[in-house]
Chain A
Amino acid sequence: MTAVEEPRAGTPRSSSAGPGSRGRTPNDGSPQPVRRRQSWWQRLVRDRAVLLLALPGMAVIIAFQYLALGGNVIAFQDYQPYLGIERSLWVGFENFQILFSGDPEFLSALRNTLVITLLQTVFVFPAPIILALLLHSLVSNRVRQIVQSVLYLPHFLSWVIVVAVFQQVLGGAGLLNNFLRSHGWEPIDIIGNSDAFYALITSQVIWKDTGWATILFLAVLAGIDKSLYEASAVDGASRWRQTWHITLPGMRPIIIMLLILKLGDSLSVGFEQLILQQQAVGLGVSDVLDTYVYNQGVLGGFWGVAAAVGLVKGLIGLALVLVANKTAHAFGEEGVYRA
């Protein structure tokens, strides 16, 4: 604790300043009072008001983020809800057997997860980048603002609404098929068709979040130095060459950062989205690791197994972020954070 509070060399801080002395206070030239090191208890008492303000919020974060992690111990138990963690039997790594013994349901969930992640990286990830470039190249601000207002909207709708909207438009009695029928064409079976399921969920994600995801890219685009474009125009660069040599390199750090985050999340795909549609299309194509955990644990009562799968999934996700971040640093990129 003391080490944490020690002011860094080079940032003078007058000891008389209270808890809120934000960084450096202007030195008025008067001799600095001799710093007397306060014990941690004295500083705690001095800053009690600040700590009191932080307490409720910290309590929620610690309880639901950190203490919750402790719940993972049931991965090593034959957990029974009526016995609780204290009295349930410890079974060692038995629950993890399912990960290695090739349980078909688990393998199917794992495969679906990876397929969906791959589809999303290929089709969903680039969509907002393209849309942002398109919006950024609009000359009329009015048009751009109107388009943005419209395209941001779906992000604020719940998954229940999005799934319902898609059903109403693409379902058997939906907008599309009614239109086809009224013109004497064959209706297309989309909702509840396992062959079309991945195309359906991919388009749902694109519909819901592409507009909103442009917000970060647009902020980055606005920050690219204008003089680069002017200089390149003097040199005779075309619009496409400018995009390729100035705009895209300018977006690279944010793209890499988002790819790292995406990689860390690659084992969690659209839980709410999928659980809503499992009934219609069946578990075969729609069961992913998160829904497997929910179906096995909360619904099926196999708490230990579900917790084991969740735990391994969480650890792999964390490892992926750390590794990807390190790799980004190795290639001279900023990455997500610097340790």
Chain B
Amino acid sequence: MSASTTARTTTASNTTARRPRATGPGGGRRQRTRPVIDGVAMPGPFERTVKGVVLTLACALVILPFVGIISTSLATPEQVTEAGGFVLLPTGIDLSAYRMIFAGGVVTQALWISILVTAIGTTLSLALTTTLGWALSRKGAFGVRAMLLVVLISLLFNPGIIPSYLVVQRLGLLDTLWALIIPTSVSAFNVVVVRAFFVQLPNEVIDAARIDGATEWQLFWRIGLPLSKPVLAVVGLFYGVGYWNAFFNALLYMSDATKWPLQLVLRTYVVDGAQLGSQDLGIDAAALPPQTSLQMAILVVSIVPVLLVYPFLQRHFAKGMLTGAVKG
């Protein structure tokens, strides 16, 4: 993205403004005075207005629901009850919904499980993906071409729900947190992205290190990894968001509700609208805030981590993702 935008700005300086139009039979009748950038005329006022309205509307459609969710989770119980559900602008701030979901009940438990799965999963995924990506970048080594083919072909098919379930069952992973981690720990696509990055590292550096007696592991650890930080950041964040958001794996492999991650709790209490009682929350049956406040607070808790890593992800999108995807 940044590449495209800079290209446009830099060439904007040699703008060929007010290029006289070809004088055809109509002879200058359609002559325009708008400046031309890179051979494309500047949009007219009508077009600009339409674009502005469309994009503003699109952004509002994305942002407004979040504003509503965050506002409702923070609003006072009275206001939520009065509004019949959703509040756009809270009159006062009330954190009781958050206090209750963090009190140690199902939501807190699920939150810890999600954090654990995401942390372990992302670490494991990065380890497996970078080592495999590195090995596959060693063109000419024994078996590498065959292995690359195996990885690429796996992109073309999906074994299906039942077969995947049977493998997890056979490995004895059902109802363990590993079922949420191991099956999705290596994404062939990410392997290809990481490999594409390693392949374009300069040969000279690696050859020099080899002459100095570096082992394969040292090449990978001391040269490959440090040089590939941007792509590792993106791939790591993608894995992290993937583990955090994973819902179906948990639905399929976890029948034990005490091991549910946040997304399943979210489904039960927010999407399906099951009532969160004080027992579920692990608190004394005092005055519960309205269910809507509790639901919105759970929703906010599950969205915030994504929002926190999002700026970092965004910075690396163009660099890490696209170079890999296009070259892969």
Contact = CB atoms under 8 A, between A and B. Distances in A.
Interface of A: 1, 4-5, 7, 13, 17-23, 25, 40, 43-44, 46-47, 49-51, 53-54, 56-58, 60-72, 74, 81, 85, 131, 134, 136-139, 141, 143-145, 147-154, 156-161, 163-165, 167-169, 171, 173-175, 178, 181, 207, 211, 215-216, 218-219, 221-222, 226-236, 238-239, 242, 264, 268, 271-272, 275-277, 279, 290, 293-294, 297-298, 303, 306-307, 310-311, 313-314, 317-318, 321
A241 to B, nearest CB: 11
Interface stretch (B100-108, B185-193, B227-235, B278-286): B185-193
Interface of B: 1, 3-5, 7-9, 11, 16, 19, 21-22, 24, 30, 36-43, 51, 54-55, 58-59, 61-66, 68-69, 72, 83-86, 88, 127-129, 131-147, 150-151, 154, 156-167, 169, 171, 182-183, 185-186, 188, 191, 199, 203, 206-207, 210, 215-217, 219-220, 241, 244-248, 251-252, 263, 266-267, 270-272, 292, 295-296, 299, 302-303, 306-307, 310, 313-314, 317-318, 321-322, 325-326
Contacts of B215: 49
- What 4 A-B pairs come out closest when comparing CB atoms? A57-B132, A222-B4, A229-B39, A71-B163
Of listed A23, A64, A85, A163, residue having the most chain B CB within 10 A: A64
Per DSSP, are chain A's interface residues mostly helix, strand or loop, or mixed?
helix
Contacts of A229: 38-40
Given A50-B144, A60-B128, A70-B163, A164 B266 contact: yes
A175 B65 contact: yes
28 contacts: A1-B143, A19-B142, A20-B210, A20-B216, A22-B206, A23-B140, A68-B166, A85-B166, A139-B43, A149-B314, A156-B245, A156-B313, A158-B246, A159-B247, A164-B295, A168-B68, A168-B69, A168-B86, A178-B85, A211-B62, A216-B325, A228-B39, A303-B162, A306-B161, A310-B163, A313-B160, A317-B157, A318-B156
Contacts of A17: 140
B150 A160 contact: no
Given A22-B139, A54-B131, A272-B248, A60 B186 contact: yes
Contacts of A22: 137-140, 199, 203, 206
A19 B132 contact: no
Contacts of B169: 81
A13 B86 CA distance: 69
Nearest to B269: A164
Given A152-B314, A233-B40, A158 B160 contact: no
Contacts of A242: 39-40
Contact of A61 (B21, B127, B186): B186
Contact of A310 (B11, B162, B206, B207): B162
B158 A314 contact: yes
B216 A53 contact: yes
Contact of A234 (B22, B86, B144): B22
Contacts, number: 350
Contacts of B245: 156-161
B281 to A, nearest CB: 19
